[in-house]
Structure 1
Amino acid sequence: MIGPAEQISIGGGKSADLYLLRFDENGRLKSPQTAELAIQAARSASDVFFFSHGWNNVYADALARYRDFTVGFVAQRSALALPVAVGYRPVLIGVIWPATWFVLDSEEGPDIAGGGASQLGYEQMLAEVVGGMPADQGDELTELLDGQRVLSKESATKAAELVRSALWSADDPDAATEPPDVAAVLSSWQAIAAGGQPFVEEDETIGTVGAGPIVTGPVDEPEQAGWSGLDPRGLLRMGSVWRMKARAGTVGTYGVAPVLARLLETNARIHLAGHSFGARVVLSAVAAQPPSRPAYSMLLLQPAVNRWCFADNVAMTGRVGGYRSVLDRVERPIISTMSSADKPLHEFFHLAVRGDSLGEVKPAAVGDTERYGALGGYGPAGLGPLMREHPLVILTPGTRYDLNGPVRVLAVDGSARDGNAPAISGHGDICNGYTWWALHNLVDPPP
């Protein structure tokens, strides 16, 4: 539809318009008329809240998740009797982009991103990976994997080279990590297989793991000495991560950035929030070009980006993190959530995106969370006095964060127990009182 998708009550008999902007995988804005109306509305707004979801989303889900987050945020304001600034006139803008990440079976669907990740099947995962490859290479990979549940070393090596060359041929822009070679991909693939994703047969013809059922078949060649075979889904899962990382950057840089630039030309305070790979969307948008003025705030919810992305010297390599410039383009300190209960970011991300180790393959580096860990799993690195030495335990609503001082990226740890559960219990658990409260602290600093 053209125009706001919905009006959401903000209390006091007032409402805020929610606009949804759709982008394709190349960052092309698919709803230009709605974008123009949203920008026009921003010109008379006091605040613009700009959200980006993370994964597995459709329009109806996006509308529901953005609505739920806003309704919870507004309800918490009322419950805590937080003051409303005179002239408060918010506009809400949500991004819709084609994001698919095949997270672990144990993860529920994300609150702000839409659910059902664990129901996505092998064929969909294969199609997602192959869709980012040249046709001839995609055909070769499909034929190589079809009907196979375990690959020989020769076939796994060939498959790894096809996926690596097509989907990760340049430095990782998050943390200037050099692309892996085939041996590094195989090492990561083996680590994923050893990290709780073994093949489990349900009957003679169907096996279930990770992304869902797949028809089993024979090992394509006899087991070789020292080689126990690899389930092709480990490689496809890695490939889907690489593809989504690249796509999030493309959408942010070429799609969202021009819209954001125009919003920053208004007088409204701009508040950015991104979940999972959606964090990379908003970070890429801010980093794309020097803005006319800084955005006011940024909330990163379980961000699926490298923890060194803000560093001025990534792991002492002399390289600058891809989002270092963002620190000077957001007025308030950035709040970034993290949780050890987030299994995709705490247990898998660093295996999928480890790259090589300082230019040479070092098997001992597989699983190196210090170098390759996710910001949403392990917190930031390489910021010196611009970060706390240790992440701050996430605060109960009503207890203010201290956002004064030199800290520019405040990692808040949702691993801490709240009763019998973590404050952030999984990758998608980002629509709750703790996250609403973090945003209130950014939007409404104490007098």
Structure 2
Amino acid sequence: MSDIPNFPSILLRYGRNGRALDPRHAEAVRAFAASEALDDLLVLSHGWNNTDREAMALYAGLAAHLVLQIPSVGGLSGRRIGLLGVIWPSKAFAKLERNPAASNGAASAGVPGADDDDLQALLEELADEASPEARDWLQIAAIAARSDEAAFPKFMQALPAALPVDDVAEGADRALFDPPDPEAAIRMSDTSADTAEADDWELGGGGAAGASGRGLAGAVGNVVNLATFYMMKRRAGLVGNHGLAKTLVGLRQAHPGLRLHMAGHSFGARLVTYATLALNGHPASAPHSLSLLQAAFSHNSFSGSFPAPRGGFFRDVVAKPCVEGPILVTHTHNDWPVTVAYALASRLAGQNFSALPSSEPSQWGGLGSNGAQKTEEAVASELLPPGGRYTLGPGRVFNLRADRFIKGHSDILNDAVGYAIAHAMAAS
């Protein structure tokens, strides 16, 4: 069985509710591990994308770089490695992929205000979550708020009324929309912000190509896109918690010698982290390594002290611990989508934001931009080229600054990334 080139592999699909579409998903993975006589199983999860084809291209690319690095990494030679590819329904954020730095600040740069397609995409994501009445109210209110500031409060009331509430979304994320703050939302499109980074980003769009992103239209657009971002982030949690974790629970009980590894990109990093949390460090299920590639969730997620009093949402992954070996986090300020998404969140929260980590704690920063912050187990390091020397071990979060090798959010298909994943697998 080989759906992904270079390794024996299996694909599993999950629905919008997070559940596996195949009712025998757990049995399928156990049968796969047995039939292929696997020593290691690497679980891969994509982030935002539109099609299965894009997910498969990601997995094929990662596998191609990984297979080249395995012979040079001690501890993996001679081991039979298989891949499990997770396919889940997510949405591409093409607008956020446009980095003004790459176009020298061209007029088309920035995050344009939402057009009708963006609004329709959010309404479609809410189809299984909100009543028709709530969706209709949101649509009418959003359209009105684009041109009438007096209508903005109703838009900011309609949005949280339509968004789902459950335990798979961080409270801070949901709190952005409830209680509603229309004035903060309008400030999101104000280019006279007091941070140079935000000015350069032109969060509401800019110039002729992005003119619709300024003012009220820009504020509505930013809130709509941020709400869709919230929905995708939440769904990644649903799939990790209700889907993948149930697929893998007890896997090593059936195959005691098997080593389990997780790697996820973008929202997929949150998916595999949530699955790791749900598996709760159980010796029959806990992964041996966790590789988070440009993760699209909070840089405080592993913190033991911030936000007070409990710490980060995924604190237990490190504290229990839920991973037997190392946790790797690639991060770079070249990651435009993660950086922009958290800049938008900071504006909506009415807080200052900087792309750079600082001594002052902030809720609004992305793991894929800054690495793990306020985390005593974090170790500052760099993503190394093949042949570089890693010193990895259990109980630590290794922040791998990736400026040299990752030039954008999805620029993870290279030998350095494959080399790092191989080392994480070997170190556990």
Give the TM bin, normalised by the shorter chain.
Answer: 0.7 to 0.9
The residue aligned with 2:147 is 151
Give the whole-Å Cα distance in 2 for the aligned partners of 1:65 and 1:285.
20
What's the CA shift for 1:60?
2.1
Change (3 A) 1:253 1:171: closer
Change (3 A) 1:354 1:311: farther
The residue aligned with 2:194 is none
Give the whole-Å Cα distance in 2 for the aligned partners of 1:172 and 1:253.
8
What's the CA shift for 1:87?
5.0
Report the more deviating stretch, 243-252 or 287-296. 287-296
What's the CA shift for 1:425?
0.4
1:100 paired residue among 87, 91, 114: 91
The count of residues paired between Structure 1 and Structure 2 equals 389
The residue aligned with 1:113 is none
The residue aligned with 2:105 is none
Unaligned runs of 5+ in 2: 101-110, 192-197
Matched to 2:156, the amino acid is A
Give the whole-Å Cα distance in 1 for the aligned partners of 2:203 and 2:27.
46
Change (3 A) 1:264 1:164: farther
For the 8 Å contact 2:301–2:314, the answer to whether it is kept is: yes
Change (3 A) 1:371 1:197: closer
The residue aligned with 1:436 is 418
Give the whole-Å Cα distance in 1 for the aligned partners of 2:75 and 2:392.
20
Change (3 A) 1:178 1:239: closer
TM-score when scaled to structure 1? 0.77
For the 8 Å contact 1:174–1:309, the answer to whether it is kept is: no
What's the CA shift for 1:178?
6.9
Give the whole-Å Cα distance in 2 for the aligned partners of 1:199 and 1:86.
50
Select the structure that is richer in helix. Answer: 2
Look up the SS of the partner of 1:430 in the other structure.
coil
Give the whole-Å Cα distance in 2 for the aligned partners of 1:28 and 1:366.
36
The residue aligned with 2:53 is 60
Change (3 A) 1:399 1:71: same
Matched to 2:21, the amino acid is K
For the 8 Å contact 2:43–2:263, the answer to whether it is kept is: yes
The residue aligned with 2:216 is 229
Q: In the alignment, is residue 346 of structure 1 matched against residue 339 of structure 2?
A: yes
For the 8 Å contact 1:176–1:319, the answer to whether it is kept is: no
Encode CA deviations 1:160-183: one digit per residue, 9 max, x unaligned.
Answer: 222133326568854766713455
The residue aligned with 1:74 is 67
Select the structure that is richer in strand. Answer: 1
For the 8 Å contact 1:170–1:178, the answer to whether it is kept is: no
Give the whole-Å Cα distance in 2 for the aligned partners of 1:345 and 1:186.
24
Look up the SS of the partner of 2:54 in the other structure.
helix
Change (3 A) 1:105 1:408: closer
The residue aligned with 2:108 is none
Aligned-residue Cα RMSD (Å) equals: 3.3
Encode CA deviations 1:75-127: one digit per residue, 9 max, x unaligned.
Answer: 2335xx4457465111210111111142425159xxxxxxxxx99x8444223
For the 8 Å contact 2:325–2:395, the answer to whether it is kept is: no
For the 8 Å contact 2:187–2:347, the answer to whether it is kept is: no
For the 8 Å contact 2:29–2:247, the answer to whether it is kept is: no
Q: In the alignment, is residue 46 of structure 1 matched against residue 39 of structure 2?
A: yes
Q: In the alignment, is residue 409 of structure 1 matched against residue 397 of structure 2?
A: yes
What's the CA shift for 1:303?
0.5
Encode CA deviations 1:316-366: one digit per residue, 9 max, x unaligned.
Answer: x2123221121201111200011101111123324237775xxxxxx3446
For the 8 Å contact 1:39–1:262, the answer to whether it is kept is: no
What's the CA shift for 1:72?
1.3
For the 8 Å contact 1:174–1:308, the answer to whether it is kept is: no
The residue aligned with 1:187 is 184
Residues 269-288 of structure 1 mapped to structure 2, 5 A cutoff: 269-288=259-278
What's the CA shift for 1:62?
1.9
Report the more deviating stretch, 294-303 or 171-180. 171-180
Matched to 2:57, the amino acid is A
Change (3 A) 1:230 1:187: farther
Look up the SS of the partner of 2:175 in the other structure.
coil
Matched to 1:296, the amino acid is H
Q: In the alignment, is residue 382 of structure 1 matched against residue 374 of structure 2?
A: yes
Report the more deviating stretch, 330-339 or 347-356. 347-356
1:135 paired residue among 132, 136, 139: 132
What's the CA shift for 1:32?
4.0
What's the CA shift for 1:64?
2.1
What's the CA shift for 1:190?
2.6
Change (3 A) 1:192 1:235: same
Give the whole-Å Cα distance in 2 for the aligned partners of 1:407 and 1:185.
43
Matched to 1:441, the amino acid is H
For the 8 Å contact 2:266–2:295, the answer to whether it is kept is: yes
The residue aligned with 1:166 is 162
For the 8 Å contact 2:346–2:353, the answer to whether it is kept is: no
Look up the SS of the partner of 2:119 in the other structure.
helix
Give the whole-Å Cα distance in 2 for the aligned partners of 1:394 and 1:321.
24
